[in-house]
């Protein structure tokens, strides 16, 4: 059975003391469950402290980004090996904000994914259509090519280390969520795509998260879809009670 995953993407929020406070209040409310992974993604500067603050809990810590090269003259950048050396084993790659504001294209995203996997880390890979693509009824095609152009270049053994996160761009930070039918039909489409490429077994074991305005009042409905294995939570992950309510909804 696939494990459930709730991941909090903190984006560019929380300084060091806020990071400590938020982790400690999540920890106070969090109950261990065997089939559940809880991941948080603070900013680079707070990753090492976050690992320390969550050492007595089952919370896992992910980075929000990673550089595509192993090392070298890339001023201001952070490599996968650096992350690993402070206890970070997961990186978010392909978030729509990185694609849009930092011009990350699929060639670069593939390099990032590959380098991260080569370092033995897991990847939370984000993708999703924008509003114009949805209105033009191109969302299945867009998502298919986003997955094929990056993830389907991987070997089976590499693909196993990927957590997929379907995040329709029009639902991120907007308060507007895809409805359960839209979510389930896309997740099922993705699972079929994976089955056609890597076989049914791997497809059935691959986690597919939904992201985009998941809140405590819509989480139950979203997570009740059979191909939804959890959520990537932005805004609502910044408040411990909201985040815990979402965790308890799965």
Among 62, 63, 79, 213, binds ligand PGA (CB under 6 A): 213
Binding of ligand PGA by 232 (CB under 6 A)? yes
Report residue 48 as tokens: 């090492």
Q: Quote the CA–CA distance of 4 and 52 in Å, as a whole number.
A: 24
Q: Closest CB to ligand PGA among 158 and 239? A: 239
Binding of ligand PGA by 151 (CB under 6 A)? no
Among 123, 212, 222, 228, binds ligand PGA (CB under 6 A): 212
Binding mask 166-205 for ligand PGA (x = CB under 6 A): -x----xx--------------------------------
Among 94, 128, 230, 234, binds ligand PGA (CB under 6 A): 234
Binding of ligand PGA by 54 (CB under 6 A)? no
Query: What burial class does residue 226 get, using C-beta atoms within 10 Å of its C-beta: 0-12 exposed, 13-18 middle, 19+ buried?
Result: exposed
Is residue 95 annotated as a catalytic residue, yes or no?
Answer: yes
Alpha carbon distances (Å) from 113 to 26, 35, 58: 29, 26, 25
Minimum Å gap between C-beta 235 and ligand PGA is 4
Which position among 60, 97, 133, 167 bears the catalytic label?
A: 167
Stretch touching ligand PGA by CB under 6 A, among 45-53, 55-63, 128-136, 165-173: 165-173
Q: Closest CB to ligand PGA among 9 and 203? A: 9
Binding of ligand PGA by 235 (CB under 6 A)? yes
Residues 4-23 that bind ligand PGA (CB under 6 A): 9
Is residue 189 annotated as a catalytic residue, yes or no?
Answer: no
Q: What is the 3-state secondary structure (H, E, C) of the chain?
A: CCCEEEEEECCCCCCHHHHHHHHHHHHHHCCCCCCEEEEEECCHHHHHHHHHHCCCCCCEEEECCCCCCCCCCCCCCCCHHHHHHCCCCEEEECCHHHHHHCCCCHHHHHHHHHHHHHCCCEEEEEECCCHHHHHCCCHHHHHHHHHHHHHHHCCHHHHCCEEEEECCHHHCCCCCCCCHHHHHHHHHHHHHHHHHHHCHHHHHHCCEEEECCCCCCCHHHHHCCCCCCEEEECHHHHCHHHHHHHHCCC
Minimum Å gap between C-beta 213 and ligand PGA is 4
Among 164, 214, 246, 250, binds ligand PGA (CB under 6 A): 214
Minimum Å gap between C-beta 175 and ligand PGA is 8
Q: Tell me, by CB under 6 A, how many residues bind ligand PGA.
A: 13
Q: Which residues bind ligand PGA (CB under 6 A)?
A: 9, 167, 172-173, 211-214, 232-236
Active-site residue numbers? 95, 167
């Amino acid at each position: 059975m696939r494990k459930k995953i709730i991941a909090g993407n903190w984006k560019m929020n929380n300084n060091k003391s806020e990071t400590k406070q938020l982790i400690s209040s999540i920890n106070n409310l969090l109950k261990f469950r065997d089939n559940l992974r809880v991941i948080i993604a603070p900013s680079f500067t707070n990753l090492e402290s976050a690992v320390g603050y969550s050492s007595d809990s089952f919370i896992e810590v992910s980075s929000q980004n990673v550089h595509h090269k192993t090392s070298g003259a890339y001023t201001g950048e952070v490599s996968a090996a650096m992350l690993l050396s402070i206890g970070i084993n997961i990186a978010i790659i392909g978030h729509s904000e990185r694609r849009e504001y930092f011009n990350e294209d699929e060639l670069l995203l593939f390099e990032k994914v590959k380098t991260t996997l080569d370092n033995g880390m897991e990847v939370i890979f984000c993708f999703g259509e924008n509003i114009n693509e949805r209105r033009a009824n191109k969302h299945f095609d867009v998502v298919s090519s986003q997955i094929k152009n990056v993830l389907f270049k991987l070997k089976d053994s590499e693909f196993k280390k990927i957590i997929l996160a379907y995040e329709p761009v029009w639902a991120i930070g907007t308060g507007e969520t895809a409805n359960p039918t839209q979510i389930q039909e896309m997740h099922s489409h993705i699972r079929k795509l994976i089955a056609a490429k890597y076989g049914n077994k791997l497809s059935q074991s691959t986690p597919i998260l939904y992201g985009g305005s998941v809140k405590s009042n819509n989480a139950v409905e979203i997570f009740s879809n059979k191909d939804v294995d959890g959520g990537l939570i932005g805004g609502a992950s910044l408040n411990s009670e909201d985040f815990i309510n979402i965790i308890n909804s799965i």
